[in-house]
Amino acid sequence: MAFDLVLFGGTGDLVWRKLMPALFQAYRHGTLPPGGRIIGVARDGLDDAAFRSLIETRLAQVELAKRPSADEFAGFAQLLHYLRVDLSKPADYLALADVLNAREVDARVLYLATAPSLFTTVCQQLVACGLNQAHTPNDTRIVLEKPLGHDLASNRAINEVVRAGFAEKQIFRIDHYLGKPSVQNLFAMRFGNALFEPLWRRETIANIQITIAEELGVEKRGGFYDQTGALRDMVQNHALQLLCAIGMEPPINAHADAIRDEKLKVLRSLKPWTPHTLAQHVVRGQYIAGGFNGEAMPAYRDEPGVDPNSHTETFVALRTEIANWRWAGVPFYIRTGKRLAAREAHIAVNFRPTPHAIFKSPLGAANRLVIHLQPKDGLTLHLFAQGQDKRGPASFGAGQSLAPVQLDLDFDKRFGSERVGAYERLLLDVIEGRLNLFVRSDEQEEAWRWVEPVMRHWKDSGDEGLKPYAAGTWGPSAASAMIARDGHSWSEES
């Protein structure tokens, strides 16, 4: 299958950090279709040889097991090409069109790994020189990285320009969380087993908690992050996609639109914000200096590129509900932040206690299913079992105490740690034209519509309500207080 994968922003951060390592892994695994060209497009004055040597340097830095041997790189390098293009110059697009039109391909992929501010210009230029069509429009795909806009209006403006030149089925909007094996596993677990379905509802589930915690700070992206914040960077996309995956109805089949229709329904059912919920059900925080394992960490406001008086949130915790028959009244809590105590993403499904207790009330949390997304990929089912004392198991009967036990399933162990990474999966899907793991424009718009009142509320209140938390902790205590008001606690606190 011949393909051309054109990477706009070909010498940029995303290509460097994520795309090239992923493409090399696909090449190594033999899943990258043969007959492809990967064409880096950027302003730098490079040629093929210089581009190849740049990528060789990059691949020599990845973790040892993923580094190419000299022979492997020599093979991979044959796919790599470079074209100098100034994205503001129409003539340069025509030169690109000449290169691309000189060869027949089965798929042409135009990957916008540029600054989001360039999306509309690049897209208009691509259309102007006919690059939105190869043989039939379906052969050409455009890939858009997040963030797609910074609010509903800007998101719509970008989508309108893109849709003027490309049909929806040609547009691949990336949310890399959907490419993670653990997130695909979540769909497999819910819709490949009949076991969960009868339990997956308000009658049995007390609350659901989605945590995406990062140990890292803003690294070298201070300037970008300061304009973005945790709500736009993580909640509007990754966290809401996880909420959809956990809360959606079973789709009628596994086709892209059937899945996306169900996710859209969840987003549409999210309870609208009110002045009360904006005040009581959202917590935003910003990290101050702290430390982790003896390592001192600076405050967010002291990070390079960040405004020393910044009001940008590096932490968000919120409570929402999916207002439909299945979920009415069940709180869904979302929590995400930078410089937290651990890198840890999981979804905790807390079941209701037994309707009538015949055993002594035990300590610790049970009746909970934890879906681990990262760093571990697995499931833990917390249950109560018969307690033990020094004389052996207590006999069944009144006064007996229960002990918490866990059933633990480790997917990395079961399937091997060599599972296909998120970007590798998504790049292969784009090349082969599979849309299941990509986000449709109406999903994105609905997610923006839902977060906008929160953004406006924060804008109006300045830094009032912005809670400090020490780097290396689990965020501001207000987040624990918020969930405690409902009589619950965050999964790591219980």
Applying CB under 6 A, which residues contact ligand BG6?
Answer: 214, 233
User: Which of 9, 331 has the CB closer to ligand BG6?
Assistant: 9
Torsion over CA of 77, 419, 429 and 174, rounded to 10 degrees? -100
Residues 411 and 377: beta-carbon distance below 8 Å: yes
Cα separation, 301 vs 309, in Å, equals 7
Q: Smallest distance, Å, CB 336 to ligand BG6? A: 9
User: Which of 191, 224 has the CB closer to ligand BG6?
Assistant: 224
Strand partners of residue 266: none
User: Which of 40, 179 has the CB closer to ligand BG6?
Assistant: 179
Cα separation, 2 vs 5, in Å, equals 10
Return the axis-axis angle of helices 240-247 and 181-192, rounded to nearest 10°: 20
Q: Which of 81, 135, 176, 238 is catalytic?
A: 238
User: Which of 92, 214 has the CB closer to ligand BG6?
Assistant: 214
Residue nearest to ligand BG6 (CB): 233
Q: Smallest distance, Å, CB 332 to ligand BG6? A: 20
Q: Smallest distance, Å, CB 233 to ligand BG6? A: 5
Taking the CA atoms of 407, 411, 416 and 417 in sequence, report the sign of the dihedral they define: negative
User: Which of 233, 443 has the CB closer to ligand BG6?
Assistant: 233
Q: How far is CA 434 from CA 172, 182, 244, 255, 426, in A?
A: 9, 19, 20, 9, 9
12 half-sphere exposure, CB direction, 13 A CA radius? 16
The secondary structure element, H or E, covering residue 38 is strand 36-42
Q: Smallest distance, Å, CB 221 to ligand BG6? A: 7
The values of phi and psi at residue 95, to 5°, are: -65, -40
Query: Is 238 an annotated catalytic residue?
Result: yes
Torsion over CA of 371, 378, 473 and 210, rounded to 10 degrees? -20
Q: Smallest distance, Å, CB 303 to ligand BG6? A: 13
Q: Smallest distance, Å, CB 18 to ligand BG6? A: 9
Q: Smallest distance, Å, CB 342 to ligand BG6? A: 12
Residues 131 and 100: beta-carbon distance below 8 Å: yes
How many H-runs (helices) and E-runs (strands) does the chain carry? 17, 19
User: Which of 92, 429 has the CB closer to ligand BG6?
Assistant: 429
Residues 182 and 411: beta-carbon distance below 8 Å: yes
Nearest by Cα to 21 from 59, 47, 52, 50: 59
User: Which of 320, 336 has the CB closer to ligand BG6?
Assistant: 336
| Residues forming the active site | 238
